[in-house]
């Protein structure tokens, strides 16, 4: 049977997270595994009102086919928010609405990656990007993440030796580590990329979810011709809408639109209109502040519980925002073994392995705090700490 499948799909694994989330169907499980927004914060009543208004004002037109680029009103709103929040002047025609940021990754792969092309990713990296790009069989060049961002000496060496076609990065509250790139690292990376043909993909799903510190500059400010921006409404409004976008220069956008048309013609016009109407009638920034207040408390609860319950020798990040933090067991201790023990106490997390392209049986793990209340976080981290103690005694 294997002989009927394409070479492209043969070596691409199933998403580890999508598989492990099946365990959470058991309501007794405490899950730190998924990157799930807190469902209690979804603006259900406001979206119901927006949906009714869309039908009242747009009627049957909202159910019709639409343009591949996306609903103009929504794209104009995205462009306006870039100007207001980051002082970036983005032309509306440089914005393409996608089925989540994940489709953006696939479109970039289709448009740019030939088998054997060199691309740069973080180490560890967002596993959805690893999976999406793996379909196109590039050579992954992983650059270690430090507290400042990508290790600048390693990055410079890879850029010089490989001349990669793409760089993929999540510079704000990175998934999985929660780390953010410093202003200095952004400047230094931009100086290295400037003047090359390499494209830098700045994926920013968590940028609005900052709980402390100050917003850092976008790579688009330093590298306007080399930077592709990804954004999404999944973390601020509703992930089920699957609404994201790509910002790209005109000549690149032309090719991305062709790839988009070949994939699905266009993203659902109906949900685009509902989201646009919701943002017309409601203060989205007030809604985001509500999310930040909730997630900020949950993150602090997790950090406090970690300080209480994790054994000495277990390191962790302390993010300024986002939805994740990253922990590291002592060297040569497997986080997969820890998962087996934690599951006995009804706690799950994501071991570090899926976030690397060339490492297995690692000592790292990702913990999500956004969809679990403070009391449950304390209970789950206590159980996880007990599992760590048991593992370290072996």
**Same domain, residue pair 319 and 213:** no
- Report how far apart the first and last C-alpha atoms of the chain are (Å, whole number): 43
Instruction: Please report the sign of the dihedral spanned by the C-alpha atoms of residue 305, residue 306, residue 307, residue 311.
Output: positive
Chain-centre distance for alpha carbon 289: 20
Letter string b/e over residues 235-252, b meaning 16 or more CB atoms within 10 A of that residue's CB: bbbbbebbbbbbbbeeeb
**Same domain, residue pair 195 and 318:** no
Q: Does residue 199 belong to any structural domain of this protein? A: yes
User: Among 281, 315, 343, which residue terminates a domain?
Assistant: 281
**Same domain, residue pair 243 and 348:** no
Q: What does the pLDDT read at residue 34? A: 84
Side-chain-side CA neighbours of 8 within 13 Å: the count stands at: 10
d(CA 303, CA 381): 9
Q: Does residue 69 belong to any structural domain of this protein? A: yes
**Same domain, residue pair 37 and 133:** no
Return the ∠ at Cα 392 (arms to 391 and 394), rounded to 5°.
Answer: 70
d(CA 113, CA 6): 17
**Same domain, residue pair 10 and 34:** yes
In this prediction, the residues of the chain whose per-residue pLDDT falls under 70 are 1-2, 13, 16-21, 23-24
Q: Does residue 319 belong to any structural domain of this protein? A: yes
CATH number for the domain that contains residue 132: 3.40.640.10
d(CA 258, CA 236): 29
Q: Does residue 60 belong to any structural domain of this protein? A: no
Q: Does residue 53 belong to any structural domain of this protein? A: no
User: Among 281, 296, 328, which residue terminates a domain?
Assistant: 281
d(CA 337, CA 392): 11
Per residue in 198-257, pLDDT (tens digit) is 999 999 999 999 999 999 999 999 999 999 999 999 999 999 999 999 999 999 999 999
Q: Which domain holds residue 245?
A: 65-281
**Same domain, residue pair 236 and 143:** yes
Sheet (strand 315-316) strand order: 315-316, 324-328, 364-368, 350-351
CATH number for the domain that contains residue 318: 3.90.1150.10
Contact 206, 321 (CB under 8 A): yes
d(CA 317, CA 308): 15
d(CA 187, CA 18): 36
**Same domain, residue pair 277 and 298:** no
Q: What does the pLDDT read at residue 17? A: 66
Q: Does residue 57 belong to any structural domain of this protein? A: no
Q: Does residue 55 belong to any structural domain of this protein? A: no
Per residue in 114-128, pLDDT (tens digit) is 999 999 999 999 999
**Same domain, residue pair 295 and 259:** no
d(CA 312, CA 302): 16
Q: What does the pLDDT read at residue 26? A: 78
Q: What does the pLDDT read at residue 152? A: 98
**Whole-model pTM?**
0.95
d(CA 373, CA 207): 22
d(CA 260, CA 107): 7
Phi-psi label, residue 252: left if phi above 0, alpha if psi -120 to 50, beta otherwise: alpha
**Same domain, residue pair 117 and 183:** yes
User: Among 263, 281, 299, which residue terminates a domain?
Assistant: 281
Domain total in the chain: 2
Contact 244, 206 (CB under 8 A): no
Closest listed residue to residue 20, CA positions, set 391, 240, 336: 336
**Same domain, residue pair 89 and 226:** yes
Q: What does the pLDDT read at residue 18? A: 66
Q: Does residue 212 belong to any structural domain of this protein? A: yes
Phi-psi label, residue 178: left if phi above 0, alpha if psi -120 to 50, beta otherwise: left
d(CA 300, CA 324): 12
Contact 56, 48 (CB under 8 A): no
**Same domain, residue pair 141 and 87:** yes
**Same domain, residue pair 276 and 297:** no
DSSP code for 182:
-
């Amino acid at each position: 049977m294997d002989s009927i499948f394409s070479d492209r799909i043969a070596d691409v694994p199933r998403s580890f997270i999508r598989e492990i989330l099946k365990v959470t169907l058991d309501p007794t499980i405490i899950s730190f595994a998924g990157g799930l927004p807190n469902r209690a914060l979804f603006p259900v009543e406001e979206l119901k009102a927006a949906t009714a208004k869309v039908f009242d004002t747009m009627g049957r037109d909202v159910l019709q086919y639409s343009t591949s680029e996306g609903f103009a009103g929504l794209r104009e709103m995205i462009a306006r928010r870039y100007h207001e929040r980051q002082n970036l002047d983005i032309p509306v025609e440089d914005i393409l609405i996608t089925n989540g940021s994940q489709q953006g990754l696939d479109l970039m792969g289709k448009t740019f990656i030939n088998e054997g092309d060199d691309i740069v990713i973080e180490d560890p990296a967002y596993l959805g990007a690893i999976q999406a790009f793996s379909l196109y069989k590039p050579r992954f060049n992983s650059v270690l993440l430090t507290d400042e961002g990508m290790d600048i000496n390693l990055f410079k060496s890879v850029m010089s030796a490989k001349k990669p076609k793409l760089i993929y990065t999540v510079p704000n509250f990175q998934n999985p580590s929660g780390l953010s790139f410093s202003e200095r690292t952004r400047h230094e990376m931009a100086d290295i990329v400037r003047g090359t043909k390499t494209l830098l993909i700045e994926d920013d799903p968590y940028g609005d979810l900052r709980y402390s510190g100050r917003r850092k500059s976008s790579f688009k400010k330093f590298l306007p011709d080399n930077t592709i921006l990804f954004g999404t409404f999944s973390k601020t409004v509703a992930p089920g809408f699957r609404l994201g976008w790509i910002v790209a220069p005109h000549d690149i956008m032309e090719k991305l639109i062709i790839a988009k048309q070949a994939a699905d013609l266009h993203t659902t016009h109906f949900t685009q209109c509902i989201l646009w109407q919701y943002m017309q009638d409601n203060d989205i920034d007030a809604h985001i502040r509500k999310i930040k207040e909730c997630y900020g408390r949950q993150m602090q609860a997790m950090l406090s519980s970690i300080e209480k319950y994790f054994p000495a020798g277990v390191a962790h990040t302390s993010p300024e925002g986002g939805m994740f933090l990253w922990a590291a067991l002592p060297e040569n201790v497997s986080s997969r073994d820890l998962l087996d023990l934690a599951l006995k106490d009804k706690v799950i997390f994501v071991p570090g392995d899926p976030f690397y392209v060339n490492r297995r049986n690692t000592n790292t793990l990702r913990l999500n705090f956004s969809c679990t209340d403070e009391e449950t976080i304390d209970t789950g981290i206590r159980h996880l700490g007990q599992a760590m103690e048991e593992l370290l005694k072996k």
